[in-house]
Chains A and B, each alone.
Chain A
């Protein structure tokens, strides 16, 4: 089962932000979208999630995403935006409970509460239920939002179909410990049979956690494949317009990116 896009083109007015992008994410994998600022990463994620008008097609597990009812789409994929504000004094529990908006797989009324509690625990916010969202630190707020997103698609597989976790720079506001916690959580979701599509800034975290990487440059898909192939000196140096050298230190043997001096 796949999350696919074919021939996506998106324009804001006269400016074309995505040009004929074809993209595939496989269930059971973490697919990272990387690229320099302004390369169209977030636009691609937002188009995949159904937020932006586009030409070309998007399919979720083979179904045309644009023809799905919003509620049906919400049961198949959940989206964590880059930054979010909340109006009104919601507390953490109430924010996370919003993940149940589209409804539940089971009809058991207690199920919702159990999932909400489990999600809060999973992002490490036990005991924060009554804290006001506005009073949280940036990192705590990001984790609370992630818990809300997880609640929406709690079981990675529903009726034999994978569900999709879409993350837009999920760890940019987090310290290193929480970066690892969140990325591991995303990886677990994929190992459980779901799919993860994440816009990433940090190439080393990408190398550690992604199964597949799509490299965007000026609104076009430059390369796509396993991290070892995509994260190479040549492509990264051109796309990021900055000389980089990809190394492989002993532990794990994954690629490792070190920006070089620009002079």
Chain B
């Protein structure tokens, strides 16, 4: 690491890694475009003419109705969902790690995942008891909506518990999160215990995560909420850097720490809540992506957060392609792919960098 660091130093400004982060971003953007095109062309339908189908929408090229339908109506929402959710998970992971000053923090720490899981399970199992009139209106959106509500409710409860006299203690939030997680886990377990076999199957697959169910409608509903959470991230960059030195030093440096904590929690609850609602639980992206980038370009959040968004999108696109391929014509839930890739990779990084990690 040190040898590489010295190679691209500017004369005089030893240790400047901003240039490297910019170069990395350039490479990642190129890779993202490539992956997008690959993701659109990848699948069981044989040789679809991706570029022609893309261009036909704008009258630039000729393509068959079959190709335009596959590309625009089936794969495009799916690929864009993967991009948006991947970006949201990776950025939220980085924000949580910065807030908790711990490289192992996960978006789930604000309680959003546990709450969303509970909401989804409750909707799958108990949704049948709702009046038909209600069901006919909410229909397929019942589960995502319940997941989003569950995630929010649980984040708000945690925030309220951890806030005393206008100050939020992240340590209390972490510990209360464990307690609340256990409680929602127990409630979820109780509902699962009452579930029928069909419902159990739905529950299991929801927990593994998938972008296969992506539609334009879902994307257009959840997308703006996810994007709203992502927009807050650049505002947080400076505060997250300062928080690396601890809360009191961050305040000495001029950060309004309470405002920034609130903003961080809000943005993560928004973007992860909406992500989990449309794709279910997808693990490891939020931990692995920020960690790898910190090793490659340093921990300054101004450069870390945008690159996390791009790499998170790339990883989820790749995971989606793998999930479409390995058991074709069936599809493997994407959460299984990210955990299978992410787990060993994360262990490898941990072992390799034990000396710098101050955990």
Chain A residues in the interface with B (C-beta under 8 A):
46, 49-51, 69-75, 78-79, 81, 84-94, 97-99, 101-103, 113, 116-117, 127-132, 134-135, 152
Bound together, the chains give a CA A131 to CA B3 distance in angstroms of 11
Q: Are A89 and B251 in contact (CB under 8 A)?
A: no
Q: Across the two chains, which residue of chain B brings its CB closest to A71?
A: B254
Please, which residues of chain A bring their CB within 8 A of the CB of B248?
Answer: 46, 51, 81
Q: Are A102 and B244 in contact (CB under 8 A)?
A: no
Q: Is B102 an interface residue when CB atoms closer than 8 A count as contact?
A: yes
Smallest Cβ distance from A25 to chain B, in angstroms? Answer: 17
Bound together, the chains give a CA A72 to CA B2 distance in angstroms of 37
Smallest Cβ distance from A96 to chain B, in angstroms? Answer: 9
Instruction: List 7 interface pairs A-B (beta carbons < 8 Å), by A numbering.
Output: A73-B254, A87-B244, A88-B101, A88-B294, A101-B241, A113-B13, A130-B2
Bound together, the chains give a CA A113 to CA B14 distance in angstroms of 11
Q: Are B298 and A90 in contact (CB under 8 A)?
A: yes
Q: Are B103 and A88 in contact (CB under 8 A)?
A: yes
Q: Are B358 and A49 in contact (CB under 8 A)?
A: no
Smallest Cβ distance from B181 to chain A, in angstroms? Answer: 23
Smallest Cβ distance from A113 to chain B, in angstroms? Answer: 6
> Which of B15, B243, B249, B294 counts the most A-chain CB atoms under 10 A from its CB?
B15
Please, which residues of chain B bring their CB within 8 A of the CB of A79?
Answer: 249, 252
Residue from the list B9, B245, B295, B358 in contact with A98, Cβ < 8 A: B245
Q: Across the two chains, which residue of chain A brings its CB closest to B14?
A: A129
Q: For residues 252 through 277 of chain B, which have their beta carbon under 8 Å from a beta carbon of chain A?
A: 252-257
Q: Is B191 an interface residue when CB atoms closer than 8 A count as contact?
A: no
Bound together, the chains give a CA A93 to CA B249 distance in angstroms of 17
With A89-B298, A94-B298, A101-B242: A75-B15 Cβ-Cβ less than 8 Å: no
Smallest Cβ distance from A84 to chain B, in angstroms? Answer: 6
Q: Is B331 an interface residue when CB atoms closer than 8 A count as contact?
A: no
Residue from the list B244, B251, B298 in contact with A91, Cβ < 8 A: B298
Residue from the list A50, A78, A93 in contact with B15, Cβ < 8 A: A93
Please, which residues of chain A bring their CB within 8 A of the CB of B14?
Answer: 93, 127-130
Q: Are B256 and A70 in contact (CB under 8 A)?
A: yes
Please, which residues of chain B bring their CB within 8 A of the CB of A93?
Answer: 13-16
Please, which residues of chain A bring their CB within 8 A of the CB of B253?
Answer: 74, 98-99, 101-102, 152
Q: Are A70 and B251 in contact (CB under 8 A)?
A: yes
Smallest Cβ distance from B65 to chain A, in angstroms? Answer: 52
Q: Are B254 and A131 in contact (CB under 8 A)?
A: no
Please, which residues of chain A bring their CB within 8 A of the CB of B300?
Answer: 90, 94, 97
Bound together, the chains give a CA A101 to CA B300 distance in angstroms of 12
Bound together, the chains give a CA A175 to CA B298 distance in angstroms of 31
Q: Are A85 and B358 in contact (CB under 8 A)?
A: yes
Bound together, the chains give a CA A129 to CA B238 distance in angstroms of 20
Q: Is B64 an interface residue when CB atoms closer than 8 A count as contact?
A: no
Q: Is B17 an interface residue when CB atoms closer than 8 A count as contact?
A: yes
Please, which residues of chain B bring their CB within 8 A of the CB of A87?
Answer: 101-103, 243-244, 358
With A71-B254, A130-B2, A131-B15: A101-B238 Cβ-Cβ less than 8 Å: yes
Please, which residues of chain A bring their CB within 8 A of the CB of B243?
Answer: 87
Q: Are B2 and A49 in contact (CB under 8 A)?
A: no
Q: Are B17 and A91 in contact (CB under 8 A)?
A: yes
Q: Are A94 and B17 in contact (CB under 8 A)?
A: yes
Q: Is B356 an interface residue when CB atoms closer than 8 A count as contact?
A: yes
